[in-house]
Amino acid sequence: MSLPLTRRRTAAAVLTAALLVPLAACGDDGSGTAKDRADGSGAASRAPRADLTVLAASSLTDVFKEAGAAYEKANPGTEVTFSFAGSQELAAQVRQGAPADALVTADTRTMDGLSGDTGEPVVIAENRLVIATGEGNPEKVEGLDDLADPELKVVLAAPEVPVGRYSRQILDAQRIEVKPVSQEPNVRAVLSKVALGEADAGLIYRTDAATATDKVDAIEIPDAENAIASYPAATLKTSKHSEAAAAFVAWLSTPEAQKILQGAGFQQP
């Protein structure tokens, strides 16, 4: 005997609801949507758990340690390990197949050269150069022109290093000839030379000078004479944790991450 119409409709409604429940559960896999992860909302805490290795430019050493701790706190079960070096060294590691999940360089040129090895890069920060001198500026350096003084011991990064290329760019634009006493493999090495008194001055990023205010002075370079350093981030195609790596790279553009970067002196792109 067939059921009355009203009872048939009720049974159908119950069956439909029962079918939808497991579908809804499948729709939330605990990882959050890409938008959730990108906008820094609470769903970011449900990003895929993984132990991530991030190759990052030397100038990000201090700020990324803070950023990594913040990301781990928001994503329990995830650990982020950073490997810092000059961008050209990082590029060499990527080409040699170093096991890593994401890459952040201090210039777009280096990242563009790895387009076959990375996902789509996104610029997460910008930076400017300053002249670093010993504390108290004992040699009374006032601007780029002073770096041409042959009596002044100037140290620069090597030309294949982003900060070294930026340095040559701004010096050449002003037609200033500088003969450095050494050319270093990364910006932190330049900072160290000046901080230890092994050089009178050097060109470094503003953010690196800010990490050693008790050892060096930073002489500002006018924007018209300066260069903009852009920091692109991208996932690596060889990553074994591609979804987790993408979530971390997306997080770097969120308000939370940008607040940390800007607190360290980086500028929003």
**269 inside domain:** no
pLDDT-based confidence at 182, cuts 50/70/90? Answer: very high
Q: Is the pLDDT of residue 33 over 80?
A: no
For residues 166 and 86, membership in a common domain is answered with no
Write down the pTM of the prediction. 0.81
- Please classify residue 136 by burial: count the beta carbons closer than 10 Å to its beta carbon, then call 0-12 exposed, 13-18 middle and 19+ buried: exposed
Q: Which residue has the higher pLDDT, 85 or 21?
A: 85
Full residue range of the structural domain in which residue 235 is found: 34-126+231-263
Judgement on whether residues 54 and 73 belong to the same structural domain of the protein = yes
Specify whether the CB–CB gap between 251 and 138 falls below 8 A.
no
- Shared domain for 221 and 135, answered yes or no, is yes
User: Within this chain, do residues 133 and 198 fall inside the same structural domain, yes or no?
Assistant: yes
pLDDT of res. 3: 44
Task: Give residue 27's pLDDT band: very low, low, confident or very high (50, 70, 90).
Answer: very low
Domain of 74, CATH number, reads 3.40.190.10
Identify whether 139 is part of a domain: yes
Instruction: Tell whether 169 is covered by a domain.
Output: yes
Q: What is the pLDDT of residues 121-160, one digit of tens each?
A: 999 999 999 999 999 999 999 999 999 999 999 999 999 9
Token pair belonging to 211: 């990490």
Q: Judge if 54 and 108 occupy the same domain.
A: yes
The domain total for the chain is 2
Residue 9 lies in a domain: no
